[in-house]
């Protein structure tokens, strides 16, 4: 299984605890996790997320990524399996 993990740009402790510390464990379960950091202000990073979403089985949006309604609609077209991780 291939999972696309979209996280806020940077190395926030919450991202490390929820995701990065678990990547080796997921790999042992044959889960390929791709971590894509993105900024709210970067159109290019948003486009990369849309491109990557097509190549993965599931998209997980961590924390408050800040996708607007149009971006979420485009993301849903790219991959209908979207999981939101909220605190």
Helices (H) and strands (E) in the chain, counts: 4, 4
Supply the pTM of this predicted model: 0.85
Q: On the CB side of 41, how many CA atoms lie within 13 Å of its CA?
A: 0
What averages of pLDDT result for each successive group of 10 residues across the chain (87 residues)?
A: 88 75 92 90 89 96 80 94 85
Predicted pLDDT at 87: 64
Q: Which residue's structure tokens are 């991780």?
A: 85
Identify the CATH number of the domain in which residue 58 sits: 3.40.50.2300
Which residue range forms the structural domain that includes residue 56?
2-85
Predicted pLDDT at 1: 95
Count of the separate structural domains present in the chain: 1
Predicted pLDDT at 17: 73
Query: Crossing angle for the helix pair 69-78 and 43-53, nearest 10 degrees?
Result: 30
């Amino acid at each position: 299984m291939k999972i696309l993990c979209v996280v806020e740009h940077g190395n926030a402790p919450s991202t490390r605890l929820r995701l990065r510390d678990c990547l080796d464990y997921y790999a042992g379960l044959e889960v390929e996790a791709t971590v894509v950091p993105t900024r709210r202000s970067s159109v290019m990073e948003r486009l990369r997320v849309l491109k990557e979403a097509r190549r993965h089985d599931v998209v997980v949006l961590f924390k408050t990524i800040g996708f607007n309604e149009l971006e979420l609609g485009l993301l849903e077209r790219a991959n209908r399996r979207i999981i939101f991780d909220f605190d």
